C-alpha cells in the first residue's frame, strides 16, 4: 500500500480544513505527529523486495500514472518522516500564534505529500508535478512570517525555481519528442540502447544537460546556490528545519540519483558531477567559515555536504553510491538537529548572531551536547554516523580512480571541522557571554526532536558495521552491480 505515502497526508490536510477551525487547530499537530511516526514505522516494516509492494497497489490498477518504491525509496521515506516529525515539534515550540501554526502544519503535510510523491513517481511528468507541489509549499513556508527578509528570500527562491522549472520542462519536451513516452523504463531503454545516431546523441545530451542543471538549481549546488543561504536564514527557523533537512535533498539530489540510474543510465564515473560536487564542497565550506549568523553558516554547510553526495553519485560505483544515499539520510538527521539547536538558541537567547553568544552549553546542556554530536557527525568524525557515509563516499571515489577528488574531499573535511569549531567556540563552548545569565534550557517541545535525532546519529554511528548487511546490502539490488 505505498499509495498511502501520498494519500494519507493529503487526506489529513483535507479533513483538517473541512473540520471546525478550533478542533482543527488543536488536532493538526497531533495528526501530523501520528502520521509521521506511522510513516516511519510502516517504512521500517516494509518488505525489502523491490517491486513486490507495487504490483498489488490500488493506484497502479486504477490510475493512469504508476508508482514504484524500491529500497532507496525506503531510505527517503524514513528521512522525510524524521525531518517532518522534528519540524512539527519545532513549529509547536516557536510559532506562538495558533492560526499561523495551523497553516504551518498544513504546509508541512503538503510538502510531505510532495516529497513522498517525488520518491514514488515512475514517470517524468508525475515527477514534475510533485516537484512543483514541494516548491509551492516551500515558498509559503519561507514567507510565513511576512517579514521583509522572509519575503525577499521567498522571492529569490521563486525566481530561481521558475528558471529550474523552465529547464526541466523543456528537457522533458525534448525527451518526449525523441522517445514518445516519459515513463522511466521506456526512456531508459531508448537512451541506453546504443542505437542513436550522432545527431540524436547530441540532442539527448543537451536534454539531459538541461534537466541536470534544473536539478542543480533545486538542490542548491554551486554555482547555482545563490538563493539557498538567503532562503534558509530568512525563513522562520521552523521552516528552515524542513528546508535544510530534507526539501532540497528530496527535490534536487534524490531526483538526480533516481534519474541517473533509472532514466539516464549513467554507469561510468562522471567528471561533471565530480567537478560540481568538489566545487560545492569547497565553496560551501569556505563560505561557511566567514559567517556570523548561525543559520547562514548551516545553510552554507548544507551546500558543502550536498557536494559529498554528488561526488558519491559521480563516482558511479556501488560503494560510493551506497555512501551517497547513506549520507543523504545522515544529512537529514544531523543538519535537522543543528537547525533544531539553532531554533533553541534563537528562542532562548534571542539572537543567532554568533558574536553576541557564548558559553551557552552551561545553561543549555542538552542543546550544547547534541550540537557537538551533530557537528562532529557533519565533519565526519567517528563514532558518529556521518563518518561512515563520508568514508564510503571517499573510498568509492578513490576506487573509481578519481584520486585527486578523494584526497580533496578528505582534506576539505578539515574546513568543515574548522567552521564548526568556531561555531562551538562562539556559541556553546567557552565562557558565558554578558547578558545571557538568565538563559534557560529549551522546553520539552524542542528537547524531544533533539534527543531523538542525537540518539539516531550516535546509535547508527556505533552500530554501522552491523548495518552493512541488513541495511546497505539491499541497496545493491538497486544498482545491479
Partner 1 sequence: MNECLLFCLVAVPLFGSLLLPLLGKAGDQARNIFALVLMLCSLGISCFLLPVIAGDQVLTVSVGGVTLFYADKLAIFMALCSQTLGTIIILYSFGYIAHYEHRNEYYFMVVLFLAAMMGLIFSSNLLWIYFFWEITAICCWRLIGFFREREYVLRADKAFFITIFGALMMLGGFLMVYGQTGTFDLLEIKAYLGRHPGEVIDNTAILFILFGILSKSATLPLHTWLPDAGVAPSPVTALLHAAVLVKIGVYVFARLFVATFTVDGIWWEVVPWIAAASALVSACAALVENDIKRIVAYSTVSQLAFILLGLAVHNEVSVLGGLLYILMHGIAKAGLFLCAGVVEHETHNKDIRRMGGLVKTMPVTAVSFGLCAFSVMGLPPFGGFFSKYMVVNGALESGQVAIGLTFVAGAFLTLAYLLRVYVRVFFGASRAADDGHGAPKEGSPIMVFSVALLAALSLLSGVVIGPSFQFAQEAVRQMMGR
Instruction: Select from 275, 418, 451, 473 the one that contacts partner 1 (CB under 8 A).
Output: 418
The 222-261 contact track toward partner 1, x by CB under 8 A, reads ----------------------------------------
398 binds partner 1 (CB under 8 A): yes
Among the residue ranges 149-157, 207-215, 349-357, 421-429, the one whose residues contact partner 1 (CB under 8 A) = 421-429
Cβ proximity to partner 1, 151 vs 432, nearer residue:
432
Torsion of CA 451, 453, 454, 460, to 10 degrees: 140
Describe the crossing of helices 318-349 and 444-467 by its angle, rounded to 10 degrees: 160
149 binds partner 1 (CB under 8 A): no
Instruction: Select from 7, 10, 399, 473 the one that contacts partner 1 (CB under 8 A).
Output: 399
Provide the grid cell at 180.
514518445
How far, rounded to the nearest angstrom, does the alpha carbon of residue 190 sit from its chain's CA centroid? 31
* Minimum separation from the CB atom of position 361 to partner 1 (A): 9
Torsion of CA 314, 218, 245, 7, to 10 degrees: -110
127-138 b/e (C-beta count within 10 Å ≥ 16 → b): bbebbebbbbbb
282 binds partner 1 (CB under 8 A): no
Instruction: Select from 417, 441, 451, 479 the one that contacts partner 1 (CB under 8 A).
Output: 417
- In the block, cell 545553510 appears at 299
* Minimum separation from the CB atom of position 379 to partner 1 (A): 8
Cβ proximity to partner 1, 210 vs 406, nearer residue:
406
* Minimum separation from the CB atom of position 349 to partner 1 (A): 17
Cβ proximity to partner 1, 162 vs 414, nearer residue:
414
Q: With contact defined as beta carbons under 8 Å apart, do 448 and 392 qualify?
A: no
Cβ proximity to partner 1, 254 vs 420, nearer residue:
420
419 binds partner 1 (CB under 8 A): no
Among the residue ranges 184-192, 198-206, 261-269, 408-416, the one whose residues contact partner 1 (CB under 8 A) = 408-416
Burial class (CB in 10 A: 0-12, 13-18, 19+), 264: buried
413 binds partner 1 (CB under 8 A): yes
What DSSP letter does each residue of 2-48 carry, written as one string?
TTHHHHHHHHHHHHHHHS-HHHHHHHHHHHHHHHHHHHHHHHHHS-S
Among the residue ranges 156-164, 270-278, 305-313, 402-410, the one whose residues contact partner 1 (CB under 8 A) = 402-410
Q: With contact defined as beta carbons under 8 Å apart, do 124 and 211 qualify?
A: no
Instruction: Select from 430, 441, 474, 477 the one that contacts partner 1 (CB under 8 A).
Output: 430
Beta bridge partners of 123: 183
Instruction: Select from 103, 410, 451, 473 the one that contacts partner 1 (CB under 8 A).
Output: 410
422 binds partner 1 (CB under 8 A): yes
394 binds partner 1 (CB under 8 A): yes
Which residues from 354-383 bind partner 1, rule CB under 8 A?
Answer: 359, 362, 376, 379, 381-383
Residue 353 phi/psi, 5° resolution?
Answer: -80, 115
* Minimum separation from the CB atom of position 177 to partner 1 (A): 44
Which residues from 449-478 bind partner 1, rule CB under 8 A?
Answer: 465-466, 469
From residue 43, alpha-carbon distances to 1, 75, 122, 157, 265 in Å are: 11, 8, 19, 31, 27
Q: Which region, left, alpha or beta, applies to residue 247 given φ > 0 means left and ψ of -120 to 50 means alpha?
A: alpha
Cβ proximity to partner 1, 67 vs 379, nearer residue:
379
* Minimum separation from the CB atom of position 289 to partner 1 (A): 13
How far, rounded to the nearest angstrom, does the alpha carbon of residue 67 sit from its chain's CA centroid? 21
> Helix, strand, coil % (nearest 5) of the chain?
80, 0, 20
What is the spatial distance between Cα 108 and Cα 134, in angstroms, rounded to a whole number? 10
* Minimum separation from the CB atom of position 466 to partner 1 (A): 5
How far, rounded to the nearest angstrom, does the alpha carbon of residue 325 sit from its chain's CA centroid? 11
* Minimum separation from the CB atom of position 430 to partner 1 (A): 5
Binding residues for partner 1 (CB under 8 A): 359, 362, 376, 379, 381-383, 387, 391, 394-395, 398-399, 406-407, 410-411, 413-414, 417-418, 421-422, 425, 429-431, 465-466, 469
Amino acid at each position: 500500500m505505498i499509495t498511502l505515502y501520498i494519500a494519507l497526508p493529503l487526506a489529513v490536510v483535507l479533513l483538517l480544513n473541512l473540520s471546525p477551525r478550533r478542533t482543527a487547530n488543536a488536532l493538526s499537530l497531533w495528526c501530523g505527529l501520528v502520521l509521521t511516526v506511522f510513516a516511519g514505522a510502516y517504512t521500517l516494516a516494509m518488505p525489502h523486495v523491490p517491486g513486490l509492494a507495487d504490483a498489488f497497489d490500488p493506484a497502479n490498477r486504477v490510475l493512469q500514472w504508476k508508482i514504484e518504491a524500491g529500497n532507496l525509496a525506503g531510505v527517503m521515506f524514513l528521512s522525510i518522516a524524521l525531518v517532518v516529525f522534528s519540524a512539527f515539534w519545532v513549529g509547536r515550540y516557536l510559532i506562538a500564534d495558533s492560526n499561523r501554526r495551523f497553516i504551518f502544519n498544513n504546509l508541512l503535510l503538503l510538502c510531505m505529500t510532495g516529497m513522498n510523491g517525488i520518491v514514488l513517481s515512475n514517470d517524468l511528468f508525475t515527477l514534475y508535478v510533485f516537484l512543483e507541489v514541494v516548491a509551492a509549499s516551500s515558498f509559503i513556508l519561507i514567507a510565513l512570517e511576512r517579514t521583509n527578509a522572509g519575503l525577499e528570500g521567498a522571492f529569490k527562491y521563486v525566481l530561481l525555481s521558475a528558471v529550474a522549472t523552465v529547464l526541466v520542462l523543456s528537457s522533458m519536451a525534448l525527451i518526449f519528442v525523441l522517445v514518445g513516452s516519459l515513463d522511466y523504463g521506456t526512456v531508459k531503454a531508448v537512451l541506453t540502447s546504443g542505437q542513436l545516431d550522432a545527431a540524436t546523441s547530441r540532442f539527448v545530451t543537451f536534454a539531459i544537460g538541461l534537466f541536470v542543471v534544473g536539478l542543480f538549481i533545486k538542490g542548491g549546488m554551486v554555482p547555482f546556490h545563490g538563493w539557498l543561504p538567503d532562503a534558509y536564514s530568512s525563513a522562520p527557523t521552523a521552516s528552515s528545519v524542513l528546508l535544510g533537512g530534507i526539501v532540497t535533498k528530496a527535490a534536487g539530489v534524490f531526483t538526480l540519483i533516481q534519474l541517473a540510474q533509472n532514466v539516464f543510465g549513467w554507469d561510468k564515473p562522471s567528471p561533471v558531477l565530480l567537478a560540481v560536487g568538489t566545487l560545492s564542497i569547497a565553496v560551501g565550506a569556505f563560505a561557511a567559515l566567514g559567517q556570523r549568523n548561525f543559520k547562514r553558516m548551516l545553510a552554507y554547510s548544507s551546500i558543502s555536504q550536498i557536494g559529498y553526495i554528488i561526488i558519491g553519485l559521480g563516482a558511479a560505483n556501488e560503494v560510493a553510491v551506497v555512501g551517497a544515499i547513506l549520507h543523504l539520510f545522515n544529512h537529514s538527521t544531523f543538519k535537522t538537529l543543528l537547525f533544531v539547536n539553532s531554533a533553541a538558541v534563537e528562542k532562548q537567547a534571542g539572537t543567532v548572531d554568533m558574536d553576541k553568544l557564548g558559553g551557552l552549553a552551561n545553561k543549555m546542556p542538552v542543546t550544547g551536547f547534541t550540537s557537538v554530536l551533530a557537528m562532529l557527525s557533519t565533519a565526519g568524525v567517528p563514532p558518529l554516523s556521518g563518518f561512515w557515509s563520508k568514508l564510503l563516499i571517499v573510498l568509492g571515489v578513490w576506487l573509481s580512480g578519481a584520486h585527486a577528488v578523494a584526497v580533496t574531499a578528505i582534506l576539505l573535511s578539515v574546513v568543515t571541522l574548522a567552521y564548526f569549531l568556531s561555531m562551538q567556540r562562539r556559541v556553546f563552548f567557552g565562557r558565558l557571554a554578558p547578558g545571557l545569565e538568565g538563559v534557560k534550557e529549551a522546553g520539552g517541545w524542542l528537547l524531544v526532536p533533539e534527543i531523538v535525532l542525537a540518539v539516531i546519529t550516535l546509535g547508527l554511528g556505533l552500530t554501522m558495521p552491523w548495518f552493512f548487511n541488513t541495511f546497505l546490502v539491499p541497496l545493491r539490488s538497486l544498482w545491479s552491480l
